[in-house]
Structure formats: C-alpha cells, structure tokens
Amino acid sequence: MTDHGATTTQLGETIAERPRDARPLERLLGALRSAGRGIGRASRVAFGRVVDAVTPVGWLLVIVLVAGVLAGALFGLVEGWAVAVVAGALLLLSVPFLLGGIRLRVAFSLSQDRVVAGSRVDAAITVTNASRRVSLPVVLDIPVGSGLVEAAVPMLRGRASHVERLEIAAPRRSIIEVGPMRITRGDPIGILRREIDWPQVEQVYVHPVTVRLPSTSAGFVKDVEGQPTSRIVDSDLAFHAIREYIPGDSRRHVHWKSTAKTGRLMVRQFEETRRARIAVVLDVLAEEYGGEDEFELGVSAAVSLALQAVRDGREVLAVTSGRHELRRGPEAAITTLPTRSPKHLLDASCAVELDAAAEPLEAVTRLTAQAFPGLSIAFLVTGSGVAMQRLQRAAFAFPADATTVAVRVEPGAEPTLRATRDFTVLTIGVLDDLKHLIARGALG
C-alpha cells in the first residue's frame, strides 16, 4: 500500500511538472509566431513602399534589366549583359536620392481670401526642414483650382526654411481651392520617387463685380412690427425724444412728467417703423442666356440689387431656381442665398452656376410668391432669351400691390426702361446701366 501510494505521488508530481516544463517552449513558439507576423507585416509595408516608389520609367528599367540578364545568360549575348549593367547602374544610382525621410513642414498663407473677379491673390508657401540633417531638393505640387503649379524647393540645411511666392489669378467669379499640396522627392531621371501629401486646403472666394445703387424709399410699408427709421413722426411705437407741444398734437402723447418739470406742455416723438420685404430672383436656366458673359452680368446685377437692400436694412430674399427633377414642394425647386450680411451673400453667390435642368422663370416666381408671402418689391433678373410675354407671366405671380421690376441683361445693348401698369422692364448692356436706371426712378 505504501509503495502504491508512493507511485501515485510520483506520478502526480510527474503529471504536475509536465505543464511547467512545457510553458517555456510554448512562450518561445508564441514569440516566434509574433516575430514572424511582425516580419511579415514589415516586409509587406517595405515591399509596398518600394513598389510605390518605382515610377513607370523605373519599371521599364527593371524590365530591361531582367531582359538583358536573360538574353546574356540564355543566348550568350554580350549586348544583353551590357544593357543589364546600364539598367542596374541607373537603378542603383537613383536609390541615394530617396535615403532619409521627408521631414518638412509646409505653411501656406494667402494675402486675402476674398477678392473681386478680375483680381489677383498673392500666396506665400514656407517650407521648413524640421530635422537637423540636410534635406535634399524636393518638388512641391500645388493644385490651384483646376490647374497645377510646381515649385522647386532647393536643398535645405537643418532647421532652414524656403519661401515660395505665387500669384493666383482670379479672372472670373468662382471658388478657387488651393491644395492639398504634394511633396515629391526623386532622382533627376525620374526612376524612383517618394511622395507625401500635405492636407492643408485654402479657399479663395472670387466675388462677382457689383455696383453700388442709389437708395430709395420704394417698397416701404408702414408696419408697427417693422424696423425703426430715421424719419420722425408723432405716432408710432419706437420712442425717439420729447418736444414742446404744437397745436394739433394728440393729447395721448403728452409726457406729463416733463410737462410738470418744465411748466410747458411736452409731447413724445417717435421713429417711424416701416417694413420692406424684397425678393431678388435670379434665373439660372442656361437656355435663357446668350453665354457665360451674359450670365455673369445677370449675377452681378442680381447681387448688386440684393446687396443694396441689405445695406439699407431691408428684409431681403435672394432666390435662384433649383433643379426641376429635385422638386419636392414649393421651397424645394428654389434655392435661397443667405442675406444675413454682405459677406454671406457674396460668398454664396460665388457658387451660383448655369443649369440646363433648372426651373423656368415663371415657375420660380410662382414658388417664391407662395413660399414668401407679403413681398413689397420683387426683382426678376434674367437673360436676353426671355420674351416679354413670359416676363409678364412671371411678374403676375407676385401680389398686385407689390412693385415688380424685371431686369433683362444683354451685353452691349442700349439701356432702356419700359414701364407698364403691372410691372417695369429694364434692359441693361453693362452693369452701370442698372445704377443709372434706378436713379431715374425705375422703382417709381
């Protein structure tokens, strides 16, 4: 019994010791598997970088090298070995140009990010070597709108900087995106190349050309919920000052505290509160215009009208036609531009474009009148392709008590003003014509 118990104890100890003996081996195998996976990942990354660094010229040299070796080894052609040696030498000579990482910082700045069409923008690109070692020359690819500008950055010492200056042309109304930039380093022949993208993107808003229009009182409607004006009246809600009583003043506006102090009858004065809700509708249907220049004149006219209304403190609705296939109710077929400030309006106008699938002018005015009731003035801006009958139908969509003015743009045309009982039609050939016609009383 004792021997059997001892045997059992020895077996138990042996069984218990086996897992402890196996643990180091398992750890070793696990470490080897982890190392293998790490080496595999590193190899894949390294191979991917090598493949990415080889340009089409480099791959051509690789093919020439392989073909030369095969020709020399299989057919004994000396020329094959010569070609292979030259191709291999070129590949080896291009490798040093990629040694070391690209440790550059790029800072991009614009002299201004909002300009008027026909202007230019100055840009400065500062490239700094962030390391202490010498940085080899690189090429900076800078997307500017639909174009590409290349800037050569020379060799830089540690912590040194290089400033590259650009001049960006802004000939037409648009939003110009500058960036993202790409830093490229490679050999002079173009065999190997390493690229790094710099994600910074700047936008330049190219505003339409506008003209300042004369301010008028047309379209103002007296409204206690309107905005106070500089006109002083005897009865309203916006208190202004106190003056001495004049025969005929209403006793309801007597200020009794001031009367008691001065011993003379004093009455209140008020600032008149008035409201003018103005809509500026810009037709963007491509077939209504005779070309891009005519449309740009229309955009400038519409934005000039809306801008002047914003400066005058009026409630302004700047509307363009939406796409016909996107219509989902009255407000879905029209696009409203922000008019909180001149800046917001001008920025939004940079993105307005001609559209062959836009709603026609008659539909846009009808939808505008439905979505924004209570208009006092409505401007319709369209091209030379709209007949007078269509303008009349478009104008009839607005309330009868609203002042409706249609502005037809036709570059080079003589400025004309045609007033009917229901609406007024202005024809302008240049933007300044709009200012002169408004000054002549186009709004009544």
pLDDT category at 332 given cuts 50, 70, 90 is low
Half-sphere exposure of 47 (CA within 13 A, CB side): 6
Q: In the CATH scheme, what is the homologous superfamily, with its name and number, of domain 277-439?
A: von Willebrand factor, type A domain (3.40.50.410)
What pLDDT score was predicted for residue 224?
Answer: 37
Q: What is the pLDDT of residue 333?
A: 72
Which neighbouring-strand residues pair with 254?
267
CATH architecture designation of domain 104-207 = Sandwich (2.60)
Q: How confident is the model at residue 283 (pLDDT cuts 50, 70, 90)?
A: very high
Supply the pLDDT for residue 258: 80
For residue 250, give every residue at least 6 positions away whose Cβ sits within 8 Å of its Cβ, in sequence order, or none.
Answer: 234, 235, 267
Provide the mean pLDDT of the chain: 82
Helix, coil or strand: residue 190: coil
Mean pLDDT in residue range 358-379: 89
Contacts 24+ apart (CB under 8 A), 257-260: none
Question: Tell me, what's the pLDDT at 272?
Answer: 54
Query: Where exactly are the structural domains of the chain?
Result: 1-39, 54-99, 104-207, 223-273, 277-439
What is the per-residue pLDDT for 361? 92
pLDDT for res 161: 93
Tens digit of each residue's pLDDT (9 = 90 or more) over 134-180: 888 899 999 999 899 999 999 999 899 999 999 999 999 999 999 89
**Burial class of residue 161, CB neighbours in 10 A (0-12, 13-18, 19+):** middle
What's this model's pTM, rounded to 2 decimal places? 0.72
Q: pLDDT: is 267 or 113 the higher one?
A: 113
pLDDT at 70: 92
Convert the pLDDT of each residue in 216-266 to its tens digit.
654 444 443 444 444 444 444 444 577 777 787 777 778 778 888 888 888
Q: What is the pLDDT of residue 263?
A: 82
Q: Is the predicted pLDDT of residue 15 greater than 90, yes or no?
A: no
Indicate the DSSP class of residue 228: E
- For the cut 50, the answer to whether the pLDDT of residue 9 exceeds it is no
Q: Which is more confidently placed, 311 or 15? A: 311
Structure confidence at residue 112 (pLDDT): 94
Q: Which of 176, 120, 165 is closest to 140 using CA atoms?
A: 165
